[in-house]
Every structure is written in structure tokens, then in C-alpha cells.
Structure 1
Amino acid sequence: MELQDYLNTNFPGLVLKPSLYSQWNNRLHFELAKGLYQMNNRTDELNQNYFNAVYNQALTLFNMIFSDEDTMFLVTNIHQTKQDTKKSIRKMKVYRHYIKNKTIRFQLRQKTVSYLLDEEDYYFSSQFSLECKKQDISYPLLIKAICNQDFSSLKPTISTPDYSYNPEVFFINVTKNVIFYIYDDRGCEIIATNKEIIRLIYKEYSDWIDEDSRKEIDEQFVITEEET
């Protein structure tokens, strides 16, 4: 299965880049570790309770979306300066460190995309995609690495000094037609072809919804009198 064919069929017009929420109608936007802060005010050190909450909530949402039986795409956007285009797949931490099933690495696909950044004249963007199953990925570690990406002292991480931008990692449930994107420790986005697919997530974790997005999200999932 080709990633772009899948997107064209199920998410027509969608560009797989940050701010999925602004591109699609059936959507959720969560703030992770709401009410906690990255730094400990008393010690001026990183607040481990905050990061533990971030990891646990991101992993909970992932497990709500993906079951062991589901087929998925693991997609990563990489942005390099055009002078650095010779830095190749060997730098791809996402697939080198977090794929448990080594044999499926040979199915990894790469394409050049020119529409992911506004600074196209200066940057070169590559999109990597791998069709796999949930159990093929060390997903607890990968999710933790994504959440750690803005903090150099935290491990694991997907960040690398070779790139000006951090990699963007998307988890796509091909079976259920849901896309999950954790942009960093602050939050994540979920979109789906049908809002009923993500209604249970909305109901179970309504307290985590980003407050700036709450009104329009609540309007999507209006609870009828029969459901009350």
C-alpha cells in the first residue's frame, strides 16, 4: 500500500504536517499534563511529575487508537538544509532505534516533498513511511522520545543536531482511518474520517482537551437527549 494513495482516498486534500487539526473537521486536540509545569519552581529543575504525566497520557491515547490487529503507517518528516541533503537514512533514529521487527525495515519508503515548509528554497524535506503493526514498534519508548524532543537532557529523544527542525512523527491507523500526531510534550492532535470512531476518546478524556479548542470540539460531539 502506498501512503499517498491511502491519504488521497481517505483524507483527500490533507497535507501530513503539523496542525492537522486546522485541516480536518473530525478532530481532537489534547493538552498533555494539564495543570502541571515543565519546571519545578522550587529547584528550577525539570519537573519529572509533569513528564511522567505527559508520557502516560500520550501512551493512553495511542493505546485507545491502535490495537494489535490494526495495520498502520509510521510516517516521519525530516527537514534538512539543501547543503545537508547527503545526510541519509543512517541518521533516521525513528526507524533505527524504535522498530523491533528488523525485517520490515527493508519496506521503509522515502520520498522528497516540497510543500511541507514555507522555506522551500532553503530546506529539503523527506518523508519516510513504513507499513507495520503496533507490535513491530517500541512505541512506549518512541512516544517518550517524541515528548522529550525539546529537552536535550532527557532521553530517549528523536532530536538530532544534524537538522534545524525536529522530525515530525505521525501514527496512522489504516484499519480505523485515524491519524495521531504528538507535536511535543505540550499536546497532540487526532483526526479521523468519521467522528464516531473517536467519540469514545472524546468522552473518556474530555478533561484533557485543549481549552482553546474546547468549544468547537464540544460542538462536534453534541450529546443528544437520548444519550444523556
Structure 2
Amino acid sequence: MHELDLFLQMHFPKLVLGPSLTDQWEIGIHFPFAKDMYPFNKDGSLNKQMFERVYEQASALFNALFSKQDELFLVTSVYQNKHMKLASGRIKTYDRRVKNKSLLSKLVQRNIPYPFIDEGNADQFVTSQFILKCKARDLRAPLLIQAACNEDFPLLKPRFGTSRCFAAYPDLFFINRTEQLIYFIYDDRGCEIIATDKAILRPIYEKYSLWLDDFDRKHADSLFAN
């Protein structure tokens, strides 16, 4: 059993590491990015101001949640067709975005079940999961954050490597082992943050609550009422 599994079993029992973390875990906040802004201008061009706002907010949350010394698992889930082999032993997520290249020799790749079991063809897919144990200071976090935010916009760079065997764009999870929290940017629309204790998330709730929309603020207000 990998250290990641032991960590999740101890601190986030029964959690499936995939989208919709805040639906699975009570102590969490969903933050929308660039509230009331749109990815396209009226002429159909990309709204660069919106994306700059997205990157700014996603980075601010990361910096509030991770100190340079924090130990973490950087986990990438690649959803792929069972019958098509991943072309490379590792995907491009890590090559240019990890400062300490010696860590790459310890990158773990394994296959785990496809998490979207409600899909009619779910049995045709598998998740290739890549796990890197490192410290926050070892990462070029801005590049990772931007690539996660750029999921739906192929013209934007940086991006994670993709392939015709992928069922979906890779998901990236920043798992803070020191602070016991998980930060997941699903795309330019927003992110999910879950933790083992409300006290861990209270500072970002108090500092960034204006970023929340009415629905998410209502949930967060209720969570931190006491």
C-alpha cells in the first residue's frame, strides 16, 4: 500500500480522490474563480483579464494553504481507455514544473479504478495515477496552477500533456500532508478545498469570503458559524 493510501485512510477515510471533493467531505469550501467574469469577449476572443484574475485567485489560495516547507503529495489522475497504452512512462505534468529533478526518479505510476462509475461506458476506462512525494518548495506552482486552469482552452499555455487515449483532461491534486488538506483546481471555473479540521480553513474563509457566490457563502457561513 502506498503512503498516499495510508494518508487518505487515516485523515480522509472513504474519500474517493476525484472531482466533487466537497460533496464527499463535510469540512470544505468551494471557491468560484473570477466571479461574474466570462472567458470570452463579445467579439469571441479570449478574455485575458478574466484568466489573469483566475490565475491570481488560484495562486493566492495555494500560497495561503501551502508554506514552502510543507510536505505534500502531488497527484495527477489521467483517465484513459483500458485498451490504449499511455505513450510515455510519465506525463508532462512533472517534467518542467518540478524544480528538484532528482525527485522524478521517485515518481510512482499505478492504475486504479475509474472514478466516474455512473457513466455508461465506465468499464472501458481506467485511471493512471501519478504520485510525487515532495515539498511545496520543490514545485513551480504557478505553472501547475495555470495548466490546471487552462483545461478547456487548448490555445492557452501552459497545459498538461494530452493524448487521444485520454478520456478527459488530467486532474491534479495538491495534497498537503503537513496541514492535512487537499486543494483541487478543476478548471477556470473554480476549486475545491477540504481539510480535517475547520480551523485549517477558517483563515482563508475569513480572508477570501468575498470571492464566494451566494450559494457557496451560505454553506461556508454555516460551516464556520461556531
Q: Distance in 2 between matches of 1:151 and 1:136?
A: 27
Shift of the alpha carbon at 1:159?
4.9
Give the conservation status (yes or no) of the 8 Å contact 1:27–1:192: yes
Is the 2:114–2:125 Cα contact (8 Å) retained in structure 1? no
Corresponding residue for residue 226 of structure 1: none
C-alpha displacement of 1:123:
0.7
Report the residue type matching 1:181 in the other structure.
Answer: F
- CA drift of 1:185 comes to 0.2
Query: Are the equivalent residues in 2 in contact too, given 1:114–1:120 (CA < 8 A)?
Result: no
2:167 is paired with a residue whose SS is: coil
**Hey, what's the Cα distance between the residues in 2 that align with 1:84 and 1:192?**
36
- C-alpha distance in 2 between matches for 1:127 and 1:85: 14
1:112–1:161 Cα change, 3 Å:
closer
Letter of the 1:219 partner, please give it.
S
Q: Which runs of 5+ in 1 are unaligned?
A: 224-228
1:194 aligns with 2:193: no
Q: In the alignment, which residue of structure 2 is the partner of 1:110?
A: 109
How far apart, in 1, do the equivalents of 2:86 and 2:78 lie? 13
Q: Structure 1 vs Structure 2: percent identity of aligned residues?
A: 46
Aligned counterpart, 2:130:
128
Q: How far 1:124 sits from its partner (Å)?
A: 1.8
Residue in structure 1 matched with residue 96 of structure 2 by the alignment? 97
Residue 203 of structure 2 corresponds to residue 215 of structure 1: no
Query: 1:28-82: per-residue Cα shift (whole Å, max 9, x none)?
Result: 00010112111111x2200000000000000000000000111011001111112
Aligned-partner SS, 1:201: helix
Per the normalisation by structure 1, the TM-score is: 0.92
The answer to whether the Cα contact below 8 Å between 1:74 and 1:129 also exists between their aligned partners in 2 is: yes
Match of 1:31 in 2: 32
Q: CA RMSD in A?
A: 1.4
For 1:125 and 1:189, how far apart are their aligned partners in 2?
A: 20
Alignment of 1:18-167 (within 5 A): 18-41=19-42, 43-90=43-90, 92-118=91-117, 119-162=121-164, 163-167=166-170
Contact preservation (8 Å) 2:98, 2:139? yes
The C-alpha deviation readout for 1:6-32, integer Å capped at 9, x for no partner, is 100011111100000101011000010
Structure 2 runs not aligned, ≥5 long? none
Are 1:9 and 2:15 an aligned pair? no
Calculate the TM-score normalised by the size of structure 2: 0.93
Opposite residue 28 of structure 2, the aligned amino acid is: R
How far residue 161 of structure 1 moved from its aligned partner, in angstroms, is 3.5
On the 8 A contact 1:82/1:124 being kept in 2, the answer is yes
Is the partner of 2:131 in helix, strand or coil? strand
Deviating 4+ runs (over 4 angstroms): none
- 1:115 Cα deviation from its structure 2 partner: 4.3
Q: Work out the number of aligned pairs and report it.
A: 221
